[in-house]
Structure 1
């Protein structure tokens, strides 16, 4: 395989924790009712459209029109977003820092709403350390679609075959591989360190 010259990190659940249940366990204490809300109202598919570039105002209007009885909690999804990302994964961040400090070319590629990413960068300064980032909500392209990987390659001058992508989602990993990248599934910092060494990257 081509030697790795570029390392690309996903962000959510790789560098920072994300879990909507954190605020909603207080807002909707009943577990079954809360799961129904996520399965039927503020669903994954509804939320991913904000990562694709849809505004929260439009997203809330559509969801409230379909589920008017849940209007307050629909608005609470954005209102309490900060509580959904309570902390960074310090071991993953330390690993990324070591890669950057050692001179490796590190960028980030993330499915993230544009406005919440601005908030995340204010809260987590290490997100400024890599050479750059592609944010799905800003470019209106999203993983695992091929075009966002091609966009990232063009934006940062990467050689796809010499690029290693790190993501916690199997479809996103498979999307990178289909775009000609090398990729590993993130399950924790210790496994990532092992994967990097297997790829010939000293950490």
Structure 2
């Protein structure tokens, strides 16, 4: 029986993407893709999710790509511009689950400890959770099993009584390997259908 719902945040409840910023900086899609695939990469960003400081991360890349210094510094200097807004359909589902009173609701997010407070100021619903575990603060991140276990242990949850929602299939599969029922998020509409299949909505 499901007693706890665990949400990822980025691309599930919040429309965050570096492209929202870099569309303002580069004049064409090819330049944006090149920059995000070769300079400010996903792998580089995940190190900040794992606890590396934004300053250290930025200086490492500036030293490696000095001709891209301005664009690299924009990544965290203008980070808030990567937040396009809430994904309203998912927030509405979150509110319905919360208002039902049937579930404890948690967030398990790969997110820098330095940028997460910016999101909290902007999105009121981030204060609705019964508990939040942010990777950058813990220096642990998805898909490492210890990160999921940290949330389970901290809030006295049983894996078999939890349902996890994430847009990244790698993270979903990691949760399933721990015995946590999981939904691979693709849209609010699909999420609602899946939650009905679990008799959660």
TM-score range, shorter chain: over 0.9
Describe the superposition over 1:125-177 as per-residue Cα deviations: whole angstroms up to 9, x where unpaired.
10000101110000011101111000010111111011000000100000100
Structure 2: gaps spanning 5 or more residues: none
In 1, the alpha carbon distance for the partners of 2:15 and 2:3 equals 27
Q: What root-mean-square deviation, in Å, do the aligned CA atoms of Structure 1 and Structure 2 show? A: 0.9
Q: Please name the residue that 1:66 is paired with.
A: 64
- 1:105-144 equivalences under 5 Å are 105-144=104-143
Q: CA deviation at 1:33?
A: 2.1
Q: Please name the residue that 1:26 is paired with.
A: 24
Q: Please name the residue that 1:80 is paired with.
A: 78
Structure 1: gaps spanning 5 or more residues: none
Q: CA deviation at 1:30?
A: 2.9
1:52 aligns with 2:50: yes
TM-score by length of 1: 0.96
Q: CA deviation at 1:20?
A: 1.0
Contact 2:54/2:114 (<8 A) preserved: no
In 1, the alpha carbon distance for the partners of 2:183 and 2:43 equals 24
In 2, the alpha carbon distance for the partners of 1:85 and 1:30 equals 20
Contact 1:4/1:200 (<8 A) preserved: no
In 2, the alpha carbon distance for the partners of 1:168 and 1:37 equals 23
Describe the superposition over 1:38-79 as per-residue Cα deviations: whole angstroms up to 9, x where unpaired.
111101111111111100100011101111111111100011
1:14 aligns with 2:12: yes
Q: Please name the residue that 1:196 is paired with.
A: 195
Q: How many residues align?
A: 200
Q: Please name the residue that 2:90 is paired with.
A: 92
TM-score by length of 2: 0.97
Higher strand proportion: 2
Describe the superposition over 1:57-106 as per-residue Cα deviations: whole angstroms up to 9, x where unpaired.
00011101111111111100011211111210111101101101111111
1:182 aligns with 2:181: yes
